[in-house]
Amino acid sequence: MNEMMDIAPEVAVALADGVGVVALESTIISHGLPYPENKQTALALEAAIREEGAVPATIAILGGRIKIGLTGDELEELASPSSDVIKVSRRDIATIMAQGGNGATTVASTMICAAMAGISVFATGGIGGVHRGAAQDFDISADLPELARTNVAVVSAGPKAILDLPLTMEYLETHGVPVIGYGTDELPAFWSRASGISLTARADSAGAVAAIMKTKWSLGIEGGMMIANPVPEADEIPHPIIAKVIDEALAEAEAEGIKGKEVTPYLLSLIRQKTDGASLACNQALVMNNARVGAKIAIAYAAIAYPKGQKQA
């Protein structure tokens, strides 16, 4: 696999020495935010992880190669409005690489690439899930089956609130994916700290999360886990408020005949308009919070998985 993957020197040294590393996706750069906020956010996330004492590894596919850790020029290439970068999930990885293309990794593909590189912790904003109306169209994000099979702990503010949250949780339960509330007993709903859905597991420290990770994988139980980390209270949009906005946006999407992969970007853009940008500010705050928590977990996991002086194989 090393023949198809370039690991940045900083990341390679950290992995070899058993230092905490946090993977970051690249769709937030290419598709999640406008320029130049996208590049500024990417750099801020990396800086926050370094401030916590871990090493960031933003992941993408450039020139047909998996990149684990990006240079400033590579970040600029992803962020530029004129770039030809496409979203890459599990199904797309081989095609984009074989064709020498450029791809921004989603949650699912970032998990795959992180696991290949030996990175156990990934911080993102929110995960995909079961879409509303999935009983008719079977629209389920590739993030969910990836969580069930790839050994990476994903720190997120829960599934995106535009999804069917109860069915998303049912899917994760059926496929044996632990959902660990980080300092909470309730599933966070992305922009909101509360969803009304109770969790069965809680951890109040990075060390407690790391212990669950180590135990799970030491037992040979394959698959990842979701660390559900609520948005900071000062930055949240309370659930009753955002739920009304989401319902309005869903109704407009249906009236406009928006379907398939176009639904999520349409809804997020419309919700941003309806909240006068508050949803975007909340999004930026929660992903920054997740990056910091991810760094703490990565450091704690490295300490027990790779004791001092023991390097990774």
Set 146, 160, 236, 296: catalytic member? 160
Set 25, 77, 146, 236: catalytic member? 25
Q: Give the 3-state secondary structure of the chain.
A: CHHHEEECHHHHHHHHCCCCEEEECCHHHHHHCCCCHHHHHHHHHHHHHHHCCCEEEEEEEECCEEEECCCHHHHHHHHCCCCCCEEECHHHHHHHHHCCCCEEECHHHHHHHHHHHCCCEEECCCECCECCCHHHHCCECCHHHHHHHCCCEEEECCECCCCCHHHHHHHHHHCCCCEEEECCCECCECCECCCCCECCEEECCHHHHHHHHHHHHHCCCCCCEEEECCCCHHHCCCHHHHHHHHHHHHHHHHHHCCCHHHHHHHHHHHHHHHCCCHHHHHHHHHHHHHHHHHHHHHHHHHHHHCCCCCCCC
**Whether 52 is catalytic:** no
**Whether 25 is catalytic:** yes
Which residues are tagged catalytic?
Answer: 25, 160
